[in-house]
Structure 1
Amino acid sequence: MIKVLLADDEALVRAGVRAVLAAAPDIEIVAEAVNGREALELARTHRPDVALLDIRMPLLDGLGAAAELRRAVPDVAVVMLTTFSEDEYITKALDGGASGFLLKSGDPYELMAAIRAAHGGAAFLSPQIAHRVIRQVSGGRMSRQSAAKERITVLTPREREVLALVGAGLSNAEIGERLFLVEGTVKAYVSAILGRLGMKNRVQAAVLAYEAGLVPPD
């Protein structure tokens, strides 16, 4: 069972998320918060697998809460849920260590998919957000590709294989099946890759894999 912490200051939104996730037999909301400070306290107490955070909340917003969670409860994967899709929010959320970014106007099934992906060690962006990220990456592609290729030279051939599959959106378990490795070994590879590249999360690594040409543009 995937344990989820839900943080949103709007009661109607929380009720809607509860209704959506009630249809998922493998997902359970273990705690609810109305601001970022409360979310941080509840995360320490309940140790959820995934924290679903609204970006705009009182006392401490979702972006601040995500950064605090990364330090206080590093095993918790963070998925941002918001009505705002401005590039600034996307960049800050991903830089803060979020594993997913969803719009509240998106398909309810995206919510389930994002939680499962984050729990499995993968990343998930709603289609609208993914389009924005790819558009940013595509701008000035030649110079960015050259820099990205130079950056991944510190990786071993096996680490590049793993990075390519991270870029393709595969979870640790799926990468293990593809490369005939146990999931724990894949997790160790991913951690090593992030450390060598100085990156905070899989989304940043996936973007680099795309820029370096390890993942086909489509």
Structure 2
Amino acid sequence: MPTLLVVDDQILVRSGLVALLRAAPGITVVGEAESGEAAVVAAAELRPDVILMDIRMPGIGGIAATSRILEDASPARPKIIILTTFDLDAYVLQALRSGASGYLLKNTPPERLISAIHTVHAGDTLLSPAALQELLALCAPRAAAPPPAAGPLDSLTRREREVLTLVGAGLSNAEIAARLFLSPATVKTHVHRCMTKLALTSRAQAVVFAYEAGLVTR
């Protein structure tokens, strides 16, 4: 059962989300915060499994707060879902690059929001095909440039690079397993090793890395 922290500077929105999610089966709301600064403190004190994080708030915004929270090297780092009214491609990229596990609009239906919380808690990403296409459009110019001769990718084995490339293309572990004739457990191990070696905190962040490193070019 995931524990949850809700972060939003608008009290009506925050209270509504807390009331909705406290009534949802299988989710425990352990706290709420009204700013990015308060979110960083609450995350350290409460250690929630998942955080719903608003983007635009006074002081430290949601993306900066996400980065600060995920700087913690503890294995108990939370999964963070960016929740906002701003449907802008740039926010999608910034949120995922900062380590967020997903991005949802505030007009998302309640059942979809609840499902999203369970999805990221299980270690999956919320990247929809449409969001992935937006990400492609933003990152393709960077990916078109030749990758540097040396860098973080040098720490990966050939198989790990193959797996990371397919993660960047939006494939699930099961789809990667079928493509490479591996077991899902083996793929999961390769994904974990890639993320550890590259200091990535979410699968969505791995997608961004794969594009920006030139592993995925279309």
If the TM-score is normalised by the length of the shorter chain, which range does it land in? 0.7 to 0.9
CA distance in 2, matches of 1:197, 1:72: 15
Letter in 1 for 2:33: A
Task: Report the alpha carbon displacement of residue 136 of structure 1 after superposing the two structures with TM.
Answer: 2.8
For 1:12-91, what aligned pairs fall within 5 Å after superposition? Answer: 12-22=12-22, 24-72=24-72, 74=74, 75-91=77-93
- Tell me which residue corresponds to 1:3: 3
Distance 1:24 1:131, change over 3 A: farther
Match of 1:134 among 113, 133, 136: 136
- Tell me which residue corresponds to 2:203: 202
Identity, in percent, stands at 37
User: Across the two proteins, how many residue pairs are aligned to each other?
Assistant: 208
CA distance in 2, matches of 1:205, 1:71: 16
Task: Report the alpha carbon displacement of residue 41 of structure 1 after superposing the two structures with TM.
Answer: 1.4
- Uncovered stretches (5+) of structure 2, i.e. residues with no partner: none
Contact 1:114 1:125 in 2 (8 A): no
Contact 1:102 1:129 in 2 (8 A): no
CA distance in 1, matches of 2:139, 2:59: 33
SS in 2 for 1:52: strand
RMSD after superposition: 3.6
Task: Report the alpha carbon displacement of residue 97 of structure 1 after superposing the two structures with TM.
Answer: 1.0
CA distance in 2, matches of 1:199, 1:46: 23
Match of 2:113 among 90, 111, 114: 111
Contact 1:79 1:102 in 2 (8 A): yes
Larger RCO of the pair (alpha carbons < 8 Å, separation 6+): 2
Letter in 2 for 1:43: A
- Uncovered stretches (5+) of structure 1, i.e. residues with no partner: none
- Which stretch shifts more, 16-25 or 26-35? 16-25
Letter in 2 for 1:186: K
Contact 1:53 1:81 in 2 (8 A): yes
1:93 aligns with 2:59: no
Distance 1:65 1:209, change over 3 A: closer
Contact 1:123 1:169 in 2 (8 A): no
CA distance in 1, matches of 2:5, 2:199: 28
Contact 2:127 2:204 in 1 (8 A): no
Contact 2:6 2:32 in 1 (8 A): yes
TM-score by length of 2: 0.74
Distance 1:83 1:140, change over 3 A: same
Distance 1:71 1:207, change over 3 A: closer
CA distance in 2, matches of 1:103, 1:27: 20
CA distance in 2, matches of 1:208, 1:122: 16
Deviations 1:59-88 (A, max 9, x none): 321112111101247511111000112233
